[in-house]
Structure 1
């Protein structure tokens, strides 16, 4: 008679122990999951981990005048004391060479500005709105490391809502894919600094920055074969065209850029730049199944002063220019106008086939931001590195966070266009 009683008591105890273990496990799992994005960081200030939350961020407001009248390409930088909306301690996506706060940049004001277009307002990026608009869609950044810089900025801005998981098809860091699971949204980056087929001929080259063979009339299939699936692509290129290159067309050399080889014509950088964009746009317009929107993000000027990039030039300013303090001129103007001319041609050709091209015109805004580059704050002072002062890329947090303001505005414009078209057909 004792055995059944003993067994019953033991069963009850076992069940209680199992219940307790399950409860503890669930609690631990919840805590770990909630804190996972921040496990890499330690901070005594809760606001550094959880950026300020504003309830109005979740509302989407559409006003006719915001879409019909606002030219966001010209304006001024105005103070924004609420910025930044993330820190280098809350976002793991910041590339080391753009992590200016980690490497000792002493000033902070360069993070506290926002772009104010002439005659209208451009709202600060709203991560809730953005993710709601792109729910179930995909976006790819195609271009060089400044494009990757932009993608990482976007990931950091979206970190207030959700962190993505890496779903890359390859370990190659030049081709990354991220998934926002809750929104079924995919973000990607395709590394193609020249936009066309290219090969490094000499890693040293005449200026110790490499000599590249550019096949200016041939598609770079590393991205052109993979963009059918995307709803949005953001194209960019620029700074790599300063490097020495051999120009090929129809399989033969037609000239070069600063190759210093006898009997080969030395073309200006705009020659290769123009033909590369012409070919990239041709690739997009020749796609059979692409139904997405192509955004061109215009050239972002560098800000080397007191010397070229490889001759001691630096960027140490600590505030933006006013629009009347500098002009777009010289090579900056040449590259910008070359892009715009090829964009307009592609836009007209694409329209005949039902393709959509849109412009993220950030050139004037970024011309005014000499204070936003890493300079020497992309590594520790004692490190023996071969890097030059970086006046090409942008600190994160920093001025290029505003590029997401531009992008979201344009996405909302697309929604407004669709809304008007539906109403006109009703």
Structure 2
């Protein structure tokens, strides 16, 4: 879905405010130990390398994958996209160990909160863990609001709370209102031992694909507003909720960074292409189009928070994976999907980085 927006001047100025040392962990907090010792490395700066040990599981062996992510089942002919691993420049990611993950989080609740990209990552993590304990008793529940996979032998529940904006959408007499300063759904998040938040994808939707009729900012109700401004305001409401309601000694909080789309080939210097037919990642460690504005807004909000929120800064490494989308191999869905990701695939790397944050 294409749309136009302008970046409001106050936000543009705010993005370049010098960050304080106190807030640095919220922006780039996940670091590994450098190879050979001495100092740390940025886990999100690196390149994609061919790895014959991948993928980490087979889609046919995982009972949790939705059709729209099951690219192999729905006819994707190439397989090379499955054979890449993320290599940070100066350190190695720990290999994911699902049994270790379950033992570390025995008796705990892990909750993803967000849109269909959270669904993508949630199903990935469930598959990665299941691959390690295929005979473990599991309880699988799917509903429109809350879904879960519970590994009953360990008492670990990996949950998904569906909230595309994090802030509320409420049906009122005038229609559906997106309330930028309200989070009623947060009551369901309080009991989780780990929270992984995500939002952005739906903020760009307009026309018939937009699920709300009006947007409310304080007491002001509008038909529309600048989408980055709305995103900033909604995300700031979420940040205040976390600062007010979360005890970091009891709950570890992550934010899944902005997941990119690949509908416009000109972003990687190929103007006539989308993700369809792409067979491999971009080489190198930078993306020609640069960092998206939404990612800058996210980092600005995180840097202002009082409580620790660890950013899974997956944007650039995901931008390089123009080959990782379902494209035309997305179940019964029509068209080309360059927003979501095949499973197995890129979200497995997101979860490897999540695992690294827990063990390094």
TM-score (norm 2): 0.79
Pair 1:249 & 2:249 matched: no
In our comparison, the structure showing a higher alpha carbon Rg is 1
CA spacing shift, 1:176–1:324, aligned 2, 3 Å: closer
Range with greater deviation from structure 2 (123-132 or 146-155): 123-132
Structure number with the bigger relative contact order (C-alpha 8 A, sep ≥ 6) is: 2
2:131 is paired with a residue of what secondary structure? coil
Distance 1:288 1:240, change over 3 A: closer
1:388 maps to which residue? Answer: 335
**Counterpart mapping for 1:8-407 below 5 A:** 69-162=40-133, 165-166=138-139, 168=141, 172-199=143-170, 213-219=177-183, 221-222=184-185, 224-244=186-206, 246-254=214-222, 256=224, 266-267=225-226, 269-287=227-245, 291-305=250-264, 314-323=275-284, 326-329=287-290, 333-346=292-305, 349-350=306-307, 356-379=308-331, 387-407=334-354
Match of 1:240, SS? helix
Identify if the C-alpha distance between structure 1 residues 167 and 226 changes in structure 2 by more than 3 Å, giving closer, same or farther: farther
> In structure 2, what is the Cα distance between the partners aligned to 1:288 and 1:155?
25
User: Cα deviation per residue 1:212-249 (whole Å; 9 max; x = unaligned)?
Assistant: 63110111x23x00222111100111110111353211
Alpha-carbon distance in structure 2 between the residues aligned to 1:135 and 1:396: 26
Q: Distance in 2 between matches of 1:108 and 1:200?
A: 45
Moved over 6 A (4+): none
SS where residue 160 of structure 1 aligns?
helix
In structure 2, do the counterparts of structure 1 residues 164 and 255 end up closer, same or farther at CA, with 3 Å as the change threshold?
farther
- The structure where helix makes up a greater share of residues is 1
Offset of residue 276 of structure 1: 1.3
TM-superposed CA distance for 1:89, in Å, is 1.1
Contact 2:265–2:274 at 8 Å: present in 1 too? yes
What's the offset of the Cα at 1:289?
Answer: 6.2
Question: What is the CA distance between 1:200 and its match in structure 2?
Answer: 7.1
Query: Cα 1:376–1:321, aligned 2, differ >3 Å: closer, same or farther?
Result: same
Cα distance in structure 1, aligned partners of 2:153 and 2:301: 38
**Shift of residue 185, structure 1, vs aligned partner:** 1.1
User: How far apart in 2 are the matches of 1:78 and 1:359?
Assistant: 23
What's the offset of the Cα at 1:306?
Answer: 5.7
Change (3 A) 1:124 1:175: same
The answer to whether the 8 A contact 1:216-1:275 is kept is yes
What is the number of equivalent residue pairs in this alignment?
312
The secondary structure found in structure 1 opposite 2:157 is strand
Q: Distance in 2 between matches of 1:64 and 1:402?
A: 18
Q: Indicate the residue corresponding to 2:15 in structure 1.
A: none
RMSD of the TM alignment (CA)? 2.7
Corresponding residue SS for 1:82: coil
Change (3 A) 1:313 1:64: closer
Alpha-carbon distance in 2 for matches of 1:86, 1:200? 42
Structure 1 residues 215 and 106: alpha-carbon distance in aligned structure 2, compared to 1, 3 A threshold: same
Partner Cα separation in structure 1 for residue 350 and residue 171 of structure 2: 31
Structure 2 unmatched ranges of 5 or more: 1-31, 207-211, 268-272
Please state how far the C-alpha of 1:166 moved relative to its aligned partner: 3.0
CA distance in 1, matches of 2:289, 2:153: 43
Query: How much does 1:160 deviate?
Result: 2.0
1:261-319 CA-to-partner distances (Å, cap 9, x unmatched) read xxxxx42x2111111111111112211767301101100101113699xxx95532110
Q: CA deviation at 1:142?
A: 0.4
